[in-house]
Structure 1
Amino acid sequence: MSEPASDPLYAQHAGDRATIFHDEHDIDTARLGQLAGRVGKALMDIVLGTILAVVAVPVIAALAVILAIRLGQWPFFWHRRIGQYGKPITFPKLRTLPKATPRYALKDGGAVIPVDRFTAFLRHRHLDELPQLLLVPLLKMSLVGPRPKMPDRFEPTDPGYRDARQLVRQGCTGLWQIGHESHYLVHERPEYDFCYLQYGSLRMDLWILWRTALLMVGGKTIRLSTVPRWVLGAGWVNEGRIRAVGGARFLISSDRLASGRRPAA
């Protein structure tokens, strides 16, 4: 797998784990606001993530028993994805595909065919991904963020797109997951991730969680043009950092969103 592009605002050591800013002059008021937002996001992941993980455990266990009986095999399998700053993360998923399906099959290749209607229902409602919640209180994933990408050899993408979205923790849900175009591969609709990077906020996280809950019980998907103005914020990553890792051509202007303008942070 190719290495992520270096981020000039961070010093990295073995394992692609970013540490601290090495140029204190780069920290301006907007940056401090983003850092404060990230602290709040981490606290939400720890507190709310722990609550949701505890609630999800009996649901996961019940679904696992049903799948074990229906499929006649172990109901879990492990998936390796790429997390923040290119660090690999591994998480469990509930098995919904035939055992012969390649572990890293892309859904546009015709190989992703659920075993039956029940497993198709689990995939459609994203219930097969519930075990990912167990990683949130450990801060290996976030409740909300870009979908964790497969390794490059299985899911090749533009390096600028890949490295920009990896500047934040990857999420169990996000704008793409609740979006009207989630039947496309995530890198085919990069505007969802870049809207989140550029205009994200804690308000947006809570709104995405709410829309995810609605979607799981049959609610409607969203379009970027329907993202409400009040959830837009200062973003999780400033545009300079996105440009620095080669993601400039994926930046989206605020006039593509419902507000037509970006509100004050």
Structure 2
Amino acid sequence: MFSRWPFARKTCPDPDGRLGAAAPRASGACLALRARRGAIAWLRAVDVLVSAISLLVATTVAGVEGPAAARQTSLSLDATSMLLFAVTLSATACVFPLFALYTETALFHWKPALKAMVKAATAVLLVLVAGAALLRPPLVTPAFLATYWLMSCLGGLAVRLIGRRLLFLTEAQGIVARRTLIVGTGKRAQEIARDMLDHPGHGFRFCGFVADGFEVPPPLPRPEKFALVADASGLSAYLREHVVDEVLVCLPLVALCGTVDALAAVCEEHGVAMTVVTRLFELPNPRHRPGSHGGEVVVTVSNTLADERELLVKRFLDVTVSATALLVLSPLLVAVWWLVRLSSPGPALFVQERVGLNKRLFRFYKFRTMVRDAESMQAALEAQNETNGATFKMRNDPRITPLGRLLRKTSIDELPQLYNVLRGDMSLVGPRPLPVRDVERIENDWPRRRFGVKPGITCLWQIGGRNSLPFERMMELDIEYVDTWSVAMDLRILAATVPVVLGMRGAY
């Protein structure tokens, strides 16, 4: 089913975004804008840090400029030098905003950022020179000033390029670029849709309108994206087949009262955030208040409403643990790779497309534990499936190699998924990613809420019985994780996974 969709990839480049039968991740409706504002806020602190590092590097360069200068500076900063440093850091915090370095333009357009950075660094350098003329510290030499200016320019530009790159990575994971449906086709709904289309950098991707028809005629010329993709009764079917991160309800109050309960039930069942736009509260400046969308006060109904700070902590935990584990376990990974290659014909790694966050397909890695053509042989074994749900499990699967049985028992075959975690396709903790075949066989909609969070290497049912649990119980535990997730919960699950893996319980 999914294979015929050429755009079934993590970045979802196609405007239709048809990927499969899973529900997307649902976080706060304003997570996209808050993520960008948060990145810009962090730049203020990082710029001061870069300025401090530039001063220290410049001091080192001045210290090796010559024997006399080395005796004078030698990194033994006196009171006047420390005062000059404080003035420079304060100037950085005060001058940089004057050159629009804390705007989205500076973050996402490198040429204006480069020009602004050179101007701002030069202005701070002038403050530094003026302070040095008054305080006359011994370390301020031509080499010191040139080094500081160059380091400040390069460092400031680098942190903006890195910040932009990190935001683009989160965009691929559905955090910054939120695929949005609009319920309603009135004037305000069309204004919001046009704003999304005109400003994709704001973090929203307009997917279409949900309505029986246009309440008011669309503008001429009509934008290509102004399309009716479903009516209210077809919303559930559309969510089942497409990547949608948010449903934005923009209806008149009368229509809202009659449909909001049904819309909320559908969105909650699919794990999709629902944002309701209302003009009941005319605030003087709602754009600067939390919980706004397109300048309107909103209420977000979501079953996975997580604080973005916790999401950042979770991602930091994923990156640090996976990178460290890959480094420490690299000898074991290489040894297993060779053993798999030598023990049976075929590649060492098993690569399969699985359904991840928001119905995005990704390449899933593990050590191969079956014969080379195991997937093509599965159809003949379907009658021997030992599970009562969408998954396929056989305790004595004839396709498993002798080495593969040992790798499964010890869970060593799962170690390559650390690379998926490092890439951002998966997390250390989350519902296990299902193959496309299993997702297509999920009959009810309620288990699809498990797709509202990023899949993981371990989860609640991995520590509570693993393969011995029935499919429905696995799904219930996944939904429990979605509803109660926290960083502390992830840490508890990781700690509980260790004895389960060492005891080789429930793995086959």
Asked if TM exceeds 0.5, the reply is yes
Residues 92 and 132 of structure 1 are in contact (CA less than 8 Å); yes or no, is this contact kept in structure 2?
Answer: yes
Task: Find 1:11's aligned residue among 154, 166, 179.
Answer: 179
Aligned equivalent of 2:417: 132
SS of residue matched to 2:436: coil
How many Å separate the matches in 2 of 1:152 and 1:101? 14
Residues 24 and 358 of structure 2 are in contact (CA less than 8 Å); yes or no, is this contact kept in structure 1?
Answer: no
Aligned equivalent of 1:173: 458
Instruction: After TM superposition, list the pairs within 5 Å mapping 1:75-224 onto structure 2.
Output: 75-102=348-375, 105=378, 106-108=392-394, 111=397, 113-116=399-402, 118-152=403-437, 156-184=441-469, 186-187=471-472, 189-218=474-503
Percent identity (aligned): 25
Q: What runs of 5+ residues in structure 1 fail to find an aligned partner?
A: 222-265
**Distance change >3 Å, CA 16–CA 58, structure 1 → 2:** farther
How many Å separate the matches in 2 of 1:72 and 1:5? 38
Task: Find 1:53's aligned residue among 305, 326, 329.
Answer: 326
Residues 354 and 434 of structure 2 are in contact (CA less than 8 Å); yes or no, is this contact kept in structure 1?
Answer: yes
Residues 93 and 132 of structure 1 are in contact (CA less than 8 Å); yes or no, is this contact kept in structure 2?
Answer: yes
How many Å separate the matches in 1 of 2:470 and 2:401? 21
Structure 2 counterpart of 1:120, one-letter code: R
Matched, 1:39 2:312: yes
Aligned equivalent of 1:252: none
SS of residue matched to 1:176: helix
**Distance change >3 Å, CA 33–CA 163, structure 1 → 2:** closer
TM-score by length of 1: 0.69
- State the structure with more CA Rg: 2
Number of residues of Structure 1 aligned to a counterpart in Structure 2? 219
Residues 165 and 194 of structure 1 are in contact (CA less than 8 Å); yes or no, is this contact kept in structure 2?
Answer: yes
Per-residue CA deviation, residues 93-133 of structure 1 (Å, 9 max, x unaligned), is 211112232269422496464211x3212112221111111
Per-residue CA deviation, residues 199-239 of structure 1 (Å, 9 max, x unaligned), is 22212211211222222222667xxxxxxxxxxxxxxxxxx
**Deviation (angstroms), 1:184:** 4.1
CA RMSD, 1 decimal? 3.3
Structure 2 counterpart of 1:213, one-letter code: V
**Deviation (angstroms), 1:59:** 1.9
**Deviation (angstroms), 1:154:** 6.7
TM-score by length of 2: 0.38
Per-residue CA deviation, residues 228-261 of structure 1 (Å, 9 max, x unaligned), is xxxxxxxxxxxxxxxxxxxxxxxxxxxxxxxxxx
**Deviation (angstroms), 1:86:** 0.4
How many Å separate the matches in 2 of 1:133 and 1:212? 15
**Deviation (angstroms), 1:181:** 4.6
Whichever structure has more helix as a proportion of its residues is: 2
**Distance change >3 Å, CA 17–CA 48, structure 1 → 2:** farther
Aligned equivalent of 1:67: 340
Structure 1 counterpart of 2:393, one-letter code: K
**Distance change >3 Å, CA 16–CA 215, structure 1 → 2:** same
**Deviation (angstroms), 1:172:** 1.1
How many Å separate the matches in 2 of 1:156 and 1:31? 24
SS of residue matched to 1:26: strand
Q: What runs of 5+ residues in structure 2 fail to find an aligned partner?
A: 2-19, 30-177, 181-204, 208-241, 248-272, 277-290, 292-297, 379-391
